[in-house]
Every structure is written in structure tokens, then in C-alpha cells.
Amino acid sequence: MSLSSQVVPIFLLIAIGFAGHRFGWLSDAAVDGLRQIVVRMVLPSVLFLSFLDMDLTPSYLSLVAIVFVTCTVGLAIGWRLARRAFPADRYTPFMMGGYEFGMLGVGLFVGAYGAGALSSIAVVALGHELFIWFVFFALLIAARDGSARSAGLLLGFLRNPVTAAILLGLVGNVLGLRTAALQAIPGVDAVMVTLHYLSAMIVPAVLIVVGHGLRFESVDAGKIARIIGLRLVVQLPLALLVSFLVLGAMLGFELRFQVALFTLMVLPPPFIVPLFMPDDAVAVAERPLVLQVLTVHTLASLIVFAGIIAVFPRF
């Protein structure tokens, strides 16, 4: 597979989504529906099947722990710097940590490296999901409501379609179930085929949604550049250090896991941040800035990811 055949289709799918918004081919309501299909059906199907058939090893536990700690450290450093650089902003510190795995990372990684590479970033994603629910969400909900209850976070973690799919896949894996075995059971075989059909939608559906969500309304371009620059100053060195020195040189993880973690850490902040911002005057005034940061950072991430593919065209 040539480099262009890995990169160009990704940008074309995003361009289709952007053109759908720009020329009115795809309404916001239609794309919101597609986004719900991705989050509630397509992505859970992909992750369930991946974890179900994954060859689990004890070293994966250390990888999950490393990813969790790395995500936490990255947010902590970025949060402190953002508080100093933008003291009047309540939500800018949330732009310093967390990564949009579900609605961007998995589509990019699978689109570039194929479905066989999914298991690599899926293991990395487990550590990230733990961080998102028990660190990032806790802070985000506390900023909105004044506090966050641990019981509510745990319940949300278990009810979330993505994490539920991961846990079910892990349980099935531990019990010795595999796709081939389940497909041999009458009735269950139809369910497994359906999950495979849904999984096949992941790359085009995700990238079209991402393209449709790109917005270029005029906001403070200088401030947007400073926020993204501050995040990258923290995240890029940390990504290089942990991905290739800690995972690779020190712990001997395969290159596919190193590239998967680096890919995760160059992604933009979670797209759900604006959804958790309240309707008070401060948040309403800050929301356009947050949305623009997400848009511009998405473009920056695409450029960096194209560079990743150029350096590591295959594992």
C-alpha cells in the first residue's frame, strides 16, 4: 500500500463531510444522528470484536497503567500552565488533556493501517477510557456542578456503550470465547454478522462526521494558536518520551503499540467538552473559543498524523 493510498482517502472522507456542511448536503440533524450511530453502535461493535479476539498478555496491564498515568500527568502539567497563561478562562485548562479517540483516533488509525491494527490502539484506549471517566470527567463535571460523585462516575463508566463493549469483550475473551466459536452458535451467528457489518462503517462514518463538524468562524485566532501551541508543547515531548523511550527502548513493546500511543497523544481534546459546559454567561462566552480550538487542533492533528504515516507506513 502506497503512502498516498493511506493518507489521501482519510482527507477525502473528511472533505466530503466538510462539503456536506458547506453546501447543505448533510444537515446538522442528519449528522447528529450519524454521530449517535457511531457512538452507540459502530464504535462499540468495533471494540467488542477487537477485545474478544485479542491475544491478551499480562504486559497489557502495565500498558494500560502507563497510558492512564501518562494521560494524567499530561493533563496536570498542561492544566497548571493554562491556569497561569489564561487565568480568566474556566474551560481552557480542559483543552490541555484528554484525546478524541472515539470520534477521530480510531477512524484515522484503522483507515491508515487497516482493521488488523485496531487491537493495538484498543489496548491503549482502555487506559485512556479509565482516565477520561475517573479523572477528566470528574474535573469537568465538578467545574459544571461544583462536585462530582464517584458513584455517578462509576455508573456512567459502566453504562457508556464504548466502555461496556470493551468490558464485555474482555469478559468473553477471558472465558475463552472467540468470534469463530460464537458464529457457530445458531442465533448468535446472526448477531456476530451484524456486529461485523456495523464495524465496517467505522472509517467513513467517523471521518465524515469529523469533517462536517469543522467550523472556521472568526474568533481570536491568536489565542487559539497560543492554546494549541501550549498543549502541543506539553503533549508532543511527553508522547515521544513515553511512546518510544518508555514503551519501546525500556519495556520492549512492539512498534505497533508505540505508534498507537503516539497517535492517541497527538489527537485533539475530547469533543464532548462543549457538551458539558453549562449555560451561564461565562461558559456561553467561552464556548465559541473551545469549539474553534477543537476545529483547528483537529486539522493540526491530521497534519501530524500524516507525518506519522510517512515515518511508519507499516508496522
Burial class (CB in 10 A: 0-12, 13-18, 19+), 238: middle
What does pLDDT average to over the chain? 91
Question: Quick one: average pLDDT of 109-127?
Answer: 92
* Complete domains list, the chain, with CATH: 3-311 (1.20.1530.20)
Cβ-Cβ contacts under 8 Å for 271 (sequence gap 6 or more): 100, 103, 104, 213, 294
The per-residue pLDDT for 255 is: 96
Burial class (CB in 10 A: 0-12, 13-18, 19+), 33: exposed
pTM as predicted: 0.91
Calculate what percentage of the chain has a pLDDT beyond 70.
Answer: 98
Tell whether the model's pLDDT for residue 249 goes beyond 80.
Answer: yes
